[in-house]
Amino acid sequence: MSDSVEPSTTESTGLAVDVLVIGWGKGGKTLARTLGSSGTRVALVEQSESMIGGTCINVACVPTKTLIHQAAVKPEATPPAEWFTTSVEARDALIGKLNTRNRELVEEAPDAVIVMGKAAFLDPHTVEVTQGEDRLRITADTIVINTGTVPAGPPIPGADSPRVHDSTTIQHASPFPERLAIVGGGYIGLEFADMFAGFGSEVTVIDPGERILPREDDDIAAGVTEHLEAAGVTLVRTEDGHAVEAEAVLLAVGRSATTAGLGLGRAGVEVDERGFVRVDDTLRTSAEHIFAVGDINGGPQFTYVSLDDHRIVAGQLTGDGTRRRSDRAAVPNTMFLTPPLSRVGINEQQARAEGRGVLVAAKPVAQIAAMPRPKILGNPTGMIKFVADPDTRELLGATVWCVDSQEVINLLALAMRAHVTVDALRDGIWTHPSSTEALNEVLGELRPLTV
């Protein structure tokens, strides 16, 4: 609890605030700090000390990308288990610092209070927080649900074995798995496959699809398949009936909502068939004064989307209230392979499915003469593809699989939102040597898509 907070209390409620945030994800913690620094009394409830700061910094984006980087720079002479232990220690040290700083950021807000414990609604404006034998009732004018998601646990016999992991526990796998089986070939599964192959594991990915990355273009999926197989990853379809032997198993089959136990029915908050909270375009739930931000509202499960959720809710509470989810355009995403694979907008596959007349350009990174940076770094793997409108000459989408793609894709997303033409991007003056220079060459090769 922040020392400067003087919450109003009553015998029946325990604590009364203007805004109650349940869960410490990106959107929730930013709301708590922002509102709590501007005269609004805010309570932020979190059930776990290990999750202060939210999923991203504790068990997802930051720790996994730390391990991915460590795997990519593994000294050849260092034994895999030894380097993995060193890498996990570096991961834990970083996360400990971020966890501490995130607590401080909320505590520094003069009108914000932190409450540790598990929250459950008693009625539309009252939540009871339980921690051991202690109970605290909090009433609030506005409530924000920000409880996030957890790794999905499919009903598979033996899934409760200590050697069967989810995306959280695998980060501290002990002993180091010399052979690792991964169930699920989505973004999470493939990131861990690339990571553990880098550490030195013999990795097998088991997936029901005919090929990995079904939403990506065939040439991109084929390239990623070749890359993974070259790294020592075996890709197996479940229909093929392979028997896979491994010291550890990672179940990477998606994430589930965390609404069970919140007592949402008592608050009049509706959920969908998957358990995610239903919201409108301003993130209001079926209860007018209750919002849901971040993964729990069933939207794209990205930290930066949760941050944008906070802007929408803040606008409803203290701003002009004009921002909407439907305002979002050209939202990029990245799968952190080595090198990373980034996307924004539509790809060739989608353009064909929609029967759209578009311009397309594609080129393997190793063949892009104007882009020496990947070669300098010793990793010319990948491909860059663009889809553009032939009439407006604006970019409709991009797939960027190369060194620095997580940065280049942000530039392209901004260009799409600002309606910058492909000609302006093609003729841009970019620093050298940089990955952005690929735009000069590849965009000069746009041609009509042939059906």
Active site residues: 432
Alpha-carbon 323 to chain mean position: 22
The C-alpha atoms of residue 353 and residue 362 are separated, in whole angstroms, by: 18
Dihedral in degrees, nearest 10, Cα atoms 209, 211, 212, 215: -90
Burial (CB count within 10 angstroms: exposed 0-12, middle 13-18, buried 19+), residue 237: middle
The C-alpha atoms of residue 362 and residue 398 are separated, in whole angstroms, by: 10
Quick one: residue 64, left, alpha or beta (phi over 0 = left, psi -120 to 50 = alpha)?
A: alpha
Are 26 and 148 in contact, with CB atoms under 8 Å apart? no
The C-alpha atoms of residue 173 and residue 390 are separated, in whole angstroms, by: 51
Are 385 and 449 in contact, with CB atoms under 8 Å apart? no
Are 113 and 259 in contact, with CB atoms under 8 Å apart? no
207: CB partners within 8 A, 6+ apart:
183, 184, 185, 189, 235, 236, 237, 238
89: CB partners within 8 A, 6+ apart:
none
Quick one: residue 355, left, alpha or beta (phi over 0 = left, psi -120 to 50 = alpha)?
A: left
The C-alpha atoms of residue 264 and residue 347 are separated, in whole angstroms, by: 39
Work out whether strand 134-145 and strand 383-388 pair parallel, antiparallel, or are unpaired: unpaired
In this structure, how many other beta carbons lie within 10 angstroms of the beta carbon of residue 236?
Answer: 17
Q: Which residue type occupies 398?
A: A
Backbone φ and ψ for 284, nearest 5 degrees, come out as: -75, 140
What is the dihedral sign for C-alpha 27, 32, 37, 38? positive
